[in-house]
Amino acid sequence: MKKRQLGSSNLFISEISLGGMSLSTDKHTAASIIDMALDAGINYIDTADLYDLGANEEIIGTVLGKRRQDLIIATKVGNRWTEGVDGWQWDASPTYIKEAVHKSLKRLGTDYIDVYQLHGGTIEDDWDGIIDTFDNLKKDGVIREYGISSIRPNVLKRFLPASSAKSVMMQYSALDRRPEEWLDFIASEGASVVTRGTIAKGLLTNNWKERLQRVNGYQTYTVDELTTTLTGLAKHYEDLHALGLAFNLKEPTIASTVIGASSQEQLAQTLTAYEKINAITNFDKANALTKADQYVDHR
């Protein structure tokens, strides 16, 4: 498994990372997936305090045990919930961030977090306070690096130039290319992108026909447009899963792509697709964009 530098940090993370949100709440099932990922060379796992209301962090912390040093853990903060109350509310206040990070540390069973990310953000947030809090947590050794999970340009333009953030988590795939106009800006600020939604809810896998029956469209694509596009892609690429991964990893600003797995079988499919990437001949950005778009008239 190849690794890439996360922004200008000293962290080098695997090109494929494991999305914690899809992990089973059963400890043994989760452990089998995490162990398989680590054995395959994956060293980055993404979670959040919101996932299963903290249970996801607890499971990861319990499973890791002595293998903690083999993994770079990224978690998130900002969505606050109250035990016994349905739903959650946005809270990016310095007070809450300082409170939440210690709860995450306890659940993860560790004394530091590798990458701490704001789980969203609005232009009205106290960005000076947020950045100061992250910088102090880093200075104190509580976190190693920090970043944000957001696709909002106005938020990124406010946050990145004023901070030492090293990561931006964004949804990006061959079927959702919104972040492309911001990749150069993000790189110029010393940060990398970690992508989610890479396989577009399974539409960019070899099970795309089955997945297509379960959706009413995807982003700006109608079902008919998806059918035309995916059928065309399948004629040119025998493995859409490999294509989906390769499409993201072609971008130097992207350090890793987060793929969820609820079973060892799903993880194995991703690992197999990753191994096939180098077999995709003449793969470049222009080629991929042409292949992805030429079947939809208005694009």
Kindly name the residue from 44, 51, 116, 237 that is annotated as catalytic: 51
Report the alpha-carbon distance of residue 141 to residue 282 in Å, rounded: 44
Element (DSSP H or E) covering residue 118: strand 113-118
Report the alpha-carbon distance of residue 57 to residue 80 in Å, rounded: 15
Asked if residue 7 lies in contact with residue 169, where contact means CB atoms within 8 angstroms, the answer is no
Task: State how beta strands 12-14 and 3-5 pair.
Answer: antiparallel
Tokens (6 digits) for 129:
């306070």
Report the alpha-carbon distance of residue 287 to residue 229 in Å, rounded: 14
Our answer to whether residue 51 is catalytic in this structure is yes
Sign of the Cα pseudo-torsion (233, 235, 239, 242, in order):
negative
Residue with tokens 């944000």: 148
Report the alpha-carbon distance of residue 186 to residue 180 in Å, rounded: 10
Q: Which residues of 16-51 are buried (b: 16+ CB within 10 A; e: fewer)?
A: bbbbbbbbeeeeeebbbbbebbbebebbbbbbbbbb
Strand partners, 181: none
Report the alpha-carbon distance of residue 46 to residue 63 in Å, rounded: 14
State the catalytic residues.
51
